[in-house]
Chain A
Amino acid sequence: MFRFIVYRLVQLIPVLLLVSFVVFAFMHMLPGDVIDALAGEAEAHDPAVRAALTRELGLDKPIYVQYVIWLGKIVLHGDFGKSITTRRTIGVEVFKRLPATIYLAVASVIISLIIAVPLGTLAAIKRRTMTDYVVTTGSVFGLSIPQFWFAILCVLLFALYLDWLPASEYYSPFDDPWLGLKHLLLPASALGVRLAASTTRLTRASMLDEVRRDYVDTARSLGLPEWKVIFKYTLRNALIPTVTIAGLQFAGLLGGTVVIEAIFSWPGIGLTLLDAINSRDYPMIQATVLILAVVYVVVNLLVDITYRLLNPRIRLA
């Protein structure tokens, strides 16, 4: 296991180099020039203004030089540079916002699993009964509804009409755990319920595969109680794909919660990235994507380790 972890960490290096190169190249291929964005209508045509801005932003150098300088600063000094828009240190800005995103993503996945695992298991056990049909239909419905619509619906129902939860805003759980939790519930549920739809279907399918296996018949024939057959043996194996999907969902949420962040005024990485793309803030985009890539790869590693813990017979390549 230790060798596996070290091997995977070493693999990070070429992966991240490739990611850094790709994101750097793609940024400069985006339509729209950051100089136009900064110079404004009056001075956008003025060569002196363009030259001054280009120099200040380091865009006068060849692109490969810009890449090497940028990468060198990160690797040697941990310096991601300054945002073109806010003129603040990118590292500080991104790492200030990353916890909010991780917090939301973790909560969403937990809510998703709390809903999906029992429902998926139940649907598999009660296959082709009304319970199964209700769960399956519910999951299709969950997959079909647009995320932004569902989120706004949650706000109107739970915040406005029932007055159970606040409509928006973020509070760090480290500053005020209760306030943090109250403000987390709605956005995490809006995300988690939707995630649960796909996870439920996967759990159901996976359980259906497992309950047909010989070891399950053997366990039953040995007189083990049904609950033990299901929850101690079958579910554990059936959860492996669920763990995969949960890990991928978590990783995907790290950069993919822009809509929820905008609706709930959640200061996460998604909105940061969106703002940076809209204003062609190259350094911020590059840094954010790179950091997200690191987190994504680490999450994948953790997922693989979890496999092993769930089923020691799985050999990790």
Chain B
Amino acid sequence: MTTERTDKAFETSRRAFLMTTGGALAGLAAFGLRDGEAAATRQPQRRGTLQYGPYTDVAGLDSHIQNQNQIHQATAAMYNGLTDIDQGGNIVPSIAESWEPNKELTAWTFRLRKGVLFHNGREVDAEAIKLNIMRIKDPALGHEFLRGALDTVESVDVLDKYTVRINASMPDVSVPSNVMRYPTVLQAPDAFDKASEHPIGSGPFKFVSWTRRNETRLVRFENYWETDAEGHSLPYLDEIIVKPKQEDSVRLTALRTGQVHLINTMAQADIERFKETQGSKYNLWRWHAGGNFVVFNFRRGQFQDKRLRIAAAHAIDRQALHHSVYYDQGHMSDQPYPPGNPWHLEGTRSLEYDPDKAKALLKAARAVGTEIKLVVNVNTTIARETAQVVQDLWSTLGLKVTIDALDTVPFRDARNEGRFDAMIQGNTYRYDPDDYFARNLHSKSEYSGSLSGWKNERYDQLVEEAKKTLDQARRRELYTEAWNIVNAELPFFYLHEITQTSAAVKELRGYQPGSAGAVTYQGGGLRTAYIQA
């Protein structure tokens, strides 16, 4: 059995940045990136058809409308972006060979690789980049996650056929990570109108067919530009057949009976038992997927009183959650980035479990017996179970807690309209911390307004300053101070890391999930996977 943790995030120090912009040739050699002229040959021994059983299926094929989630959906492997990630989650060149910002970080110029083709033979050029970004930003069309990532992008200029400049409305250090293929997927512009039926990307695999909730077929793109370290063209696999399986036990059974080679997640409760009884027959990887936290409503309700928030935070036993909800998988956490991650913040202060203190505070506030509405999305098992434990802990404290478990759309309505006292919310991994700290808590963020509604001037200043610097150490300092404000004021109370475990048969070689579970990334994942004959 191989169990590895793949949660290293990217580093954008100034040194790394300069290496990226000035070391394109070095990058080409290191990652085996074809210059577009010499045709690479296929690796003769590494082939096969992968049967992949993810937890969920795409909701639609147009990747600008429906998010092709790279931790679940193999269709993410149909696409490239201007940048990519490596196995550690570092931002690396992709369609863009290099990039550089202006001094203010308000304009980013990307130089494109020549000769990269979409699956229909059209070349990926600056005009295509512009059209893609504009389409994603269209509020009538673009998926909210993709649009949100390009929030600060104001305009795109085509400087020449292979040079494009992205102009931001404010200094934004996170632009390179936001034009990564997840979220900024690149489609062939001449196929936009057919993207819902037959999407055209430029990634290592191209589309064949899709029947929702049943089967997706992808085949190898024979003109893909990326090569392995020996100079052989990628990908190795001939075909990927995706068979989504929503039910945990069915997915695991499919792996064990040989119906599929690879599953991307398994139920938390099954992991340890599977490792003990079956672990030697399979490769397993655990990876960081995000986290859960409590949101306290500052807009209305009981938790506008800080004493109640502090009491509620002191009443939460993360250990209890760790055992009963997360089955000892992942870390109990008071911040979004786990230990070992480059964005993990040292020197943060957060409230510890102290039920006596919590009761005393509640009594002092004369709030014993206060009714609390705790809202959660019923479709997310971990969030639902977390809510049940939190309800129990707060009830022991002396609050009268009712859980409102809502379907996705009513949940979003309740959140947007502030019809809750507290809410269990989750976050997925963000390659740039600005996507978490700014989007979730900056007072000018629309999303933040639909969560706690908290506003703090000093927090805003810190996050804005972090957006303007490439110095990672400096950014970490700023986020540490900002997060300490969060832990003191408690718009959020972070609870626990979410990890997932992927498993594959031993015959699947060359595969390892990337950072935050990405099934495809530069030099790895599905691109280098093959079936041992």
Chain A residues within an 8 Å CB radius of B244: 265
If A168-B254, A265-B243, A280-B409 touch, whether A39 touches B144 (CB-CB below 8 Å) is yes
**Residues 202-221 of chain B, each 1 if its beta carbon lies under 8 Å from chain A, else 0:** 00000000011111000000
* B436: min CB distance to chain A, Å: 14
Stretch at the interface among A48-56, A106-114, A115-123, A241-249: A48-56
Chain A, 274-317, CB within 8 A of any chain B CB? 275, 278-280
- Contact, CB under 8 Å: A263 / B148: no
**Is B115 interfacial (CB-CB < 8 Å)?**
no
The answer to whether A12 has its CB under 8 Å from any CB of chain B is no
- Tally of A-B residue pairs with Cβ under 8 A? 147
- Is the CB–CB distance between A159 and B257 below 8 Å? yes
With A43-B139, A43-B144, A45-B446 as contacts: A278 and B214 at CB distance below 8 Å: no
Contact in complex: B253, A167 (CB < 8 Å): yes
Interface pair A42/B409, CB less than 8 Å apart: no
Interface residues of B in 232-278 (CB under 8 A from A): 243-247, 249-250, 253-254, 256-257, 259
If over half of B's interface residues share one DSSP class (helix, strand or loop), that class is named, otherwise mixed; here it is loop
Chain B residues with Cβ below 8 Å from A85 are 59-60, 66
Is residue B107 within 8 Å, beta carbon to beta carbon, of the partner chain? no
Q: Does A60 contact B (CB under 8 A)?
A: no
B391-438 with Cβ < 8 A to chain A:
407-410, 412-413, 415-416
For the complex formed, measure the closest distance between the CB of A147 and the CB atoms of chain B, giving whole angstroms. Answer: 13
What interface size band does chain B fall in? Answer: 35 or more
Listed residue (A85, A167, A278) with the most chain B CB atoms within 10 angstroms of its CB: A167
Is B196 engaged at the interface, CB distance under 8 Å to the other chain? Answer: yes
Output the least CB separation between A285 and chain B (Å).
13
> Bound state CA distance, A156 and B270, in angstroms?
14
Q: Taking A40-B147, A155-B253, A278-B407 as contacts, is the C-beta distance between A33 and B196 under 8 angstroms?
A: no
A232 lies within 8 A of chain B by Cβ: no
A52 CA to B254 CA, complexed, in Å: 44
| Complex Cα spacing A196 to B447, Å | 51
Q: Which residues of B are found within 8 Å of A275, using beta-carbon distances?
A: 59, 212-213
Give B379 Cβ to nearest chain A Cβ, in Å.
8
B53 to chain A, nearest CB (A): 9
B60 touches A278 (CB 8 A): no
Interface string of A26-57 (1 = CB under 8 A from B): 00000111101111111111101100110010
Pairwise interchain contact B60-A41, C-beta atoms closer than 8 A: no
Are A31 and B413 neighbours in the complex by a CB distance under 8 Å?
yes
Task: State whether B259 touches A279 (Cβ < 8 A).
Answer: no
Judged by a CB distance under 8 angstroms, whether A220 is at the interface is no
Whether A88 sits at the interface, judged by CB under 8 Å, is: yes
Contacts of B151 in A (CB 8 A): 42
Q: Known contacts A32-B410, A265-B243, A279-B409; is A169 also within 8 Å of B59 by CB?
A: no
Inter-subunit contact A265/B246 (CB<8 Å): yes
| Alpha-carbon separation in the docked complex, A262 to B253 (Å) | 15
Across the two chains, which residue of chain B brings its CB closest to A160? B253
For residue A57, which residue of chain B has the nearest CB?
B140
Nearest CB of B to A95, in Å: 13
- Contact residues, A12-35 vs B (CB, 8 A): 31-34
**Other-chain contact of A88, B196, B407, B413, B447 (Cβ < 8 Å):** B196
Bound-complex Cα distance A36 to B417 (A): 11
Q: Does A218 sit at the interface, judged by CB under 8 A? A: no
Fill in one digit per residue for B105-147: 1 if any A CB lies within 8 Å of its CB, else 0. 0000000000000000000000000000000000110011101
Complex interface: chain B residues within 8 A of A53 (CB): 139-140
Q: Is A271 an interface residue (CB 8 A)?
A: yes
Q: Which residues of A contact B415 (CB under 8 A)?
A: 41
Q: Which residues of B contact A278 (CB under 8 A)?
A: 379, 407-409
- In the complex, whether B62 has a CB less than 8 A from a CB of chain A is yes
Chain B residues within an 8 Å CB radius of A169: 214-215, 243, 259
Q: Say whether B144 contacts A40, CB under 8 Å.
A: yes
Contact present for B259 and A166 (CB under 8 Å):
yes
CA distance A279 to B214 in the complex (A): 19
Which 9 pairs of residues, A with B, have the shortest CB-CB distance? A40-B144, A32-B409, A267-B214, A86-B60, A87-B196, A49-B139, A42-B446, A167-B253, A52-B140
Supplied contacts A33-B413, A39-B139, A168-B253, 7 more A-B pairs, CB within 8 Å: A34-B409, A36-B412, A41-B450, A86-B196, A87-B62, A156-B249, A163-B257
A-B contacts, 27 listed (Cβ < 8 Å): A32-B407, A32-B409, A32-B412, A33-B409, A34-B409, A41-B446, A42-B147, A42-B151, A42-B445, A44-B416, A85-B60, A86-B59, A86-B212, A87-B60, A87-B65, A160-B253, A166-B257, A167-B253, A168-B247, A168-B254, A168-B259, A169-B214, A169-B215, A267-B212, A278-B407, A278-B409, A279-B409
A residues near B, CB below 8 A?
A: 31-34, 36-46, 48-49, 52-53, 56, 83, 85-88, 93, 96, 100, 152, 155-156, 159-160, 163, 166-170, 261-267, 271-272, 275, 278-280
